[in-house]
Amino acid sequence: MTDTTLDTAQETRSPPRSRRRLRACHECDLVVALPPLRARERADCPRCGHTLSKRHYRPAQRSMALACSALVALMMAVSFPFISFQVGGIGNRIELSETASTMLGFHQPVVAIAVALTIIVLPAVYLCGMVWLQYGLLRRQPLPFSRGIARSLSHLHPWMMADVFIIGALVSLIKVAGMAQIEFGMAFWAFCAFAILLLYTTQSVDADWMWFSLAGEPLAPRGVRTGETAAPQKVTGCPTCGLINRLTADGHGQCRRCGERLHARLPHSLQRTWALLAASVVMYIPANVYPIMTTTTMGNTSQSTIIGGVVELWQMGDWPVATVIFVASVIVPVGKILALAWLCLMINRSDELSNATRTVLYRITEFIGRWSMIDVFVVAMLVALIRAGALMSITPGPAALAFGAVVVLTMLAAMTFDPRLIWDDPAGHADATTEPDARGTA
Q: Answer whether residue 438 shows pLDDT above 80.
A: no
**Given this model, what pLDDT does residue 273 score?**
96
In sign, the C-alpha dihedral spanning 4, 42, 233, 343 is negative
**CB within 8 Å of 133: residues ≥ 6 apart:** 142, 143, 146, 149, 150, 153, 210, 214
Lowest mean pLDDT among 13-17, 71-75, 433-437: 433-437
pLDDT per residue as tens digits for the range 108-126:
999 999 999 999 999 999 9
Distance CA 115, CA 111 (A): 6
Mean pLDDT for the stretch of residues 214-232:
89
pLDDT digits (tens, 9 = 90+) for 174-218: 877 766 788 889 999 999 999 999 999 999 998 999 999 998 888
Q: Which residues of 92-125 are buried (b: 16+ CB within 10 A; e: fewer)?
A: bebbbbbbbebbeeeebeebbebbbbbbbebbbb
pLDDT at position 307: 87
pLDDT score recorded for residue 429: 44
The percent of residues in the chain predicted with pLDDT above 70, rounded, is: 89
What pLDDT is stored for residue 19 in this prediction? 72
Q: Is the Cβ–Cβ distance between 200 and 226 less than 8 Å?
A: no
Mean pLDDT along residues 317-340: 87
Q: Across-strand partners of 226?
A: 14
Residue 430 confidence (pLDDT): 44
Tell me the per-residue pLDDT of 41-71, one tens digit each, with 9 for 90 and over: 899 999 989 999 988 888 999 999 999 999 9
Mean pLDDT, rounded, for 419-435: 64
Cα–Cα distance between 240 and 153 in angstroms, integer?
Answer: 10
Give the max Cα distance, the chain: 78
Confidence (pLDDT) at 15: 52
Category of 221 on φ-ψ map: left (φ > 0), alpha (ψ -120 to 50) or beta? beta
Average pLDDT over residues 396-423: 93
The model's confidence at residue 129, banded by pLDDT at 50, 70 and 90, is very high
Using the predicted structure, report yes or no on whether residue 4 has a pLDDT greater than 50: no
User: Contact at 8 Å (CB) between 28 and 432?
Assistant: no
CATH 1.20.140 domain position(s) in the chain = 266-429
CA dist 415 → 204, 276, 418 (Å)? 23, 10, 8
Number of separate helices (H) and strands (E) present in the chain = 16, 17
Chain centroid to CA 300 = 40
CA-to-CA dists, residue 61 to 57, 206, 321, 345, angstroms: 9, 11, 40, 46
* 92 alpha carbon, distance to own chain's centre: 33
pTM of the model: 0.88
The answer to whether the CB of 336 falls within 8 A of the CB of 368 is: yes
Which residues make beta-bridge pairs with 424?
Answer: 430
- Return the minimum-mean-pLDDT range out of 91-105, 166-180, 195-209: 166-180
Q: Say what the pLDDT of residue 250 is.
A: 86
Range in 52-56, 99-103, 231-235, 319-323 with the lowest mean pLDDT: 319-323
* Per-residue pLDDT band at 350 (split at 50, 70, 90): low
Query: At 337, is the pLDDT very low, low, confident or very high (cuts 50, 70, 90)?
Result: very high
Q: Which amino acid is at 409?
A: L
Between residues 18 and 354, the one the model is more confident about: 354
Any idea which architecture 266-429 has in CATH? Up-down Bundle (1.20)
Residue 432: its pLDDT value, please?
41
**What is the predicted pLDDT for the residue at 441?**
58
Average pLDDT over residues 366-374: 89
DSSP state of 29: -
In this predicted structure, the answer to whether residue 223 has a pLDDT above a threshold of 90 is no
Residue 229's pLDDT band (cuts 50, 70, 90): very high
Per-residue pLDDT tens over the stretch 268-325: 999 999 999 999 999 999 999 999 888 877 667 778 888 888 887 787 777 778 888 8
Least confident among 113-122, 347-356, 411-420: 347-356
- For residues 414-442, average pLDDT: 68
Task: State how far the Cα of 167 lies from the Cα of 317, in Å rounded to an integer.
Answer: 19
Q: What is the mean pLDDT of the chain?
A: 86
Distance CA 133, CA 127 (A): 10
Report the pLDDT value the prediction gives residue 389, as an integer from 0 to 100.
64
